[in-house]
């Protein structure tokens, strides 16, 4: 049973526009949510996180929104740049400090 789901396997966006990546979860006990970015042939790198008691966290071009009632979070990238093209993983931090990952969304930003 997947506790963290990313229902869109891929997303294509024009450079300069907004990219919105979505993530849904089922476990209401998750404490934090994190987004990771992964380039081909590299390991995932941390991007941004949000506490379960907040509804928004912003870091430069990246903003994560959390809707607890809907058990949904989203990552907004504005403006999108070609270098943002990568696979983005949503992850949730729960009991025992274990991370549970979603299946990832491949973002392609076209020049």
Partner 1 sequence: DAMVIQNPRYQVTQFGKPVTLSCSQTLNHNVMYWYQQKSSQAPKLLFHYYDKDFNNEADTPDNFQSRRPNTSFCFLDIRSPGLGDAAMYLCATSREGGSLANYGYTFGSGTRLTVV
Chain residues that interact with partner 1, rule: CB under 8 A: 2, 4, 9, 31-32, 34, 36, 41-46, 49, 51, 89, 91, 93, 97-104
Smallest distance, partner 1 to C-beta of residue 46, A: 5
Three-state secondary-structure class, residue 5:
strand
Nearest approach, Cβ of residue 47 and partner 1 (Å): 9
Residue 42 CB, nearest approach to partner 1 (Å): 5
DSSP track, 45-109: EEEEEEETT-SEEEETTEEEEEETTTTEEEEEESS--GGG-EEEEEEEE-GGG-EEE---EEEEE
Nearer to partner 1, 98 or 111 (CB): 98
Q: How many CB atoms lie within 10 A of CB 37?
A: 20
If the CB atoms of residues 30 and 109 are measured against partner 1, the closer one turns out to be 30
């Amino acid at each position: 049973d997947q506790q963290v789901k990313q229902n869109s396997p891929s997303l294509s966006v024009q450079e300069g526009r907004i990219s919105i990546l979505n993530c849904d979860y089922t476990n209401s006990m998750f404490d934090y949510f994190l987004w990771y970015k992964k380039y081909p042939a590299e390991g995932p790198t941390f991007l941004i996180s949000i506490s379960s008691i907040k509804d928004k966290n912003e870091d430069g071009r990246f903003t994560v929104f959390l809707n607890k009632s809907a058990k949904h979070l989203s990552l907004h990238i504005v403006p999108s740049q070609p270098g943002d093209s990568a696979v983005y993983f949503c992850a949730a931090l729960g009991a025992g400090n274990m991370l549970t990952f979603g299946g990832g969304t491949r973002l392609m930003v076209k020049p």
